[in-house]
Structure 1
Amino acid sequence: MSSAELVKTAVIVEDDPDIRHLLAEVLESAGFSTVSVGNGIDGVRAVVNYQPLITTLDVNMPGMDGFEAARRIRQQSDTYIIMLTGLEEEADVVLGLGAGADEYVVKPFRPRELRARIEALLRRPRAGESAAAATPRQESVGPSFPTARVEIDTSAASAGTDVLLRPTAGEVATAGTAWLMHRDLHLDPDSRLVRLAGEDLDLTRTEFDLLATLMESKRRVRSKADLTLVLRGESYVTSYFVGDADKRAIEAHMTNLRRKLGDNPVTPRYIETVRGVGYRLTSETAAP
């Protein structure tokens, strides 16, 4: 089978069969073949075997929960991870994003909104890809699909052996020429490289996008709602509503980003909080 004929794959990790079925319908309508499993351990195995473009993860599952599954998947794969969480458990959103999820969907979710979020994710480059090369790819590393949908029976308890995770070899990116600079922090939007004091900085896709937005905006304040829409994609057509959970998610990403920058929010060197509004870069002339 040629690369043009390879099918986009999505892995669904969800213990509720009705939600599994609904997720499969939404993803298949978006052109994906689906693999569905009912627990976190089998979900990690499915991602390792099928290397999907999209993975949906339920938060509350028997055995391995969605947080641990996301951490293990992220060690092994650059699949886009969409976390599913209950409306009343906003802390799950923060924990899920910290574990490596790219997006979250609140239950009960609207199929059209899920479809729009998936389309927005696919417009964003994945780890190790430049913006110019951010076209969806599907590697033929797992079993071929006899049909558009695969449901893996997880009614029996999974075997005691766990998934062995291999370290992912990082791709070497060629540095672009249009570096954004702020103090000793340098960012190249084309190669998606970040260097702090001459050392490469390892950021998640979302952390990179947030930092790039702030560095492009310089001293212009970007609100949490504004940053949420940036992450969703400029053509997010279903809804422009930004709720409290979205804003908490931005706060969680910003906390992780500041930690990696070694930035103290009380006496910031790179990113400062404008109380009640949002975030912006510090002044170049301000004391560290």
Structure 2
Amino acid sequence: MTTASGEDRRALVVEDDEDIRELITFTLSTQGFDVTAVDSGLAGVEAVRALDPDLITLDLGLPGIDGIEACRRIRELTDAYVVMITARDDEVERLIGLETGADDFISKPFSPRELKARVNAMFRRPRRGPATVAAVAAPVAAGDEHEVLNHGDLSVDVDGRRAFQNGTELSLTRTEFDLLTELMRTPARVWSREALLRSVWDTEWATDTHLVEVHIGNLRRKLGETPGSARLIRTVRGVGYRMESSG
């Protein structure tokens, strides 16, 4: 798999089980990735510093620092796609993993076909590059070439993949940005969780609506919402979500 400029995409596999590590490495290699594999969380963080990968698969139950802590540290270094891989049935731990910035999770055992499908779906979504000085500039004006969405005190530069609230840029993950964009494009629409899964994750394998619930919760916190406060993203009980009226 190559970038638009023709460069090979790099993948980092962080997995302490040798058999699974080799399976993931082989699967991603057949997808055209230049794959590096390590067996601990600390080694994974160091590999991110050295390699700047485009994709990271991260086991939850790693020796030393676990996958949750490794993901927190990795998110400080890169906006690469992160897939958390877990053998645990504890749903809370999966959700905590997503709160650290993981884009998706896969439960063991999984098939190479499932991994390929999820990875291919993620790479159909734009990747926001590393922050630059220009990235903290003022929001683009509505008359600029970029598609700009406005809703109350929110402004989203769709093409530049930047979101602002009261003129201050929000630090959103790729998934949070995509969710906010979908909701703002059709503010009167009530989006079901399943519809958001299909639109944002763009994959037949994304069948767990907890993915939506966790990322919506993270997005709400970054928008300054707290329990009991007025909300920009309204929960429509039994259905899904919509943007609150900006009037």
Separation in 1 of the partners of 2:109 and 2:173?
Answer: 28
When the two chains are superposed, the root-mean-square deviation of aligned CA atoms in Å is 2.1
Name which of structure 1's ranges 74-83 and 52-61 shifts more when overlaid on structure 2: 74-83
1:262 lines up with 2:188 in the alignment? no
Aligned-residue offset at 1:249: 2.3
Residue among 161, 175, 185 paired with 2:154: 185
**Paired residues of 1:273 and 1:280 also in contact (CA < 8 A):** yes
Counterpart of 1:58?
59
> In the comparison of the two structures, how many residue pairs are matched?
237
Kept in 2, the 8 Å contact 1:265–1:273? The answer is no
Distance 2:105 2:133 in 1: 27
Check conservation: 1:93, 1:249, Cα contact below 8 A: no
Structure 2 unmatched runs, 5+ = none
Given the superposition, is the C-alpha separation of residues 208 and 58 from structure 1 closer, same or farther in structure 2, using an over 3 Å criterion? same
| 1:103-155 C-alpha deviation (Å, 9 max, x unpaired) | 21111112111101111111112233xxxxxxxxxxxxxxxxxxxxxxxxxxx
The alignment partner of 1:255 has SS state of helix
Distance 1:31 1:122 in 2: 13
Shift of the 109–171 alpha-carbon distance from structure 1 to 2, 3 Å rule, reads farther
Q: Distance in 1 between matches of 2:107 and 2:201?
A: 15
Aligned residue in 2 for 1:154? none
The match for 1:144 is none
- CA–CA distance in structure 1, aligned partners of residues 26 and 198 of structure 2: 26
1:1-288 paired onto structure 2 within 5 Å: 6-86=7-87, 88-128=89-129, 169-170=131-132, 172-173=134-135, 175=140, 176-233=145-202, 236=203, 239=204, 242=207, 246-264=208-226, 266-285=228-247
Structure 1 residue 264: Cα displacement: 4.3
Structure 1 residues 226 and 68: alpha-carbon distance in aligned structure 2, compared to 1, 3 A threshold? same
Q: Displacement of 1:71 after TM fit? A: 1.1
Q: Which has the higher contact order (CA 8 A, sep 6+)?
A: 1
Contact conserved, 1:53 with 1:80, CA < 8 A, in 2?
Answer: yes
Q: Give, in whole Å, the separation in 2 of the partners of 1:240 and 1:55.
A: 18
> How far is the alpha carbon of 1:183 from its aligned partner?
1.1
Q: CA 1:14/1:184 → structure 2, altered by over 3 Å: closer, same or farther?
A: same
TM-score, scaled relative to structure 1: 0.76
SS in 2 for 1:78: coil
Work out which of the two has the higher radius of gyration on C-alpha atoms and give 1 or 2.
1
3-state DSSP of counterpart to 2:44:
helix
% identical aligned pairs? 44
Q: Is the 8 A contact 2:45 2:74 kept in 1?
A: yes
| TM value normalised by structure 2 | 0.88
Corresponding letter in the other structure for 1:284: S
Is the alpha carbon distance of 1:273 and 1:265 closer, same or farther for their aligned partners in structure 2, counting shifts above 3 Å?
farther
Q: Is the 8 A contact 2:86 2:107 kept in 1?
A: yes
SS of equivalent to 1:195? strand
* 1:6 to partner: Cα distance: 4.1
State the Cα deviation string for residues 214-263 of structure 1 (Å, max 9, x = none). 11121111111111222222xx3xx3562xxx222211111111111122
Secondary structure of 2:47's counterpart equals helix
Render the CA deviation track for 1:4-52: whole Å, top value 9, x for unaligned. Answer: 6643221110010010011011101100121111110111111111211
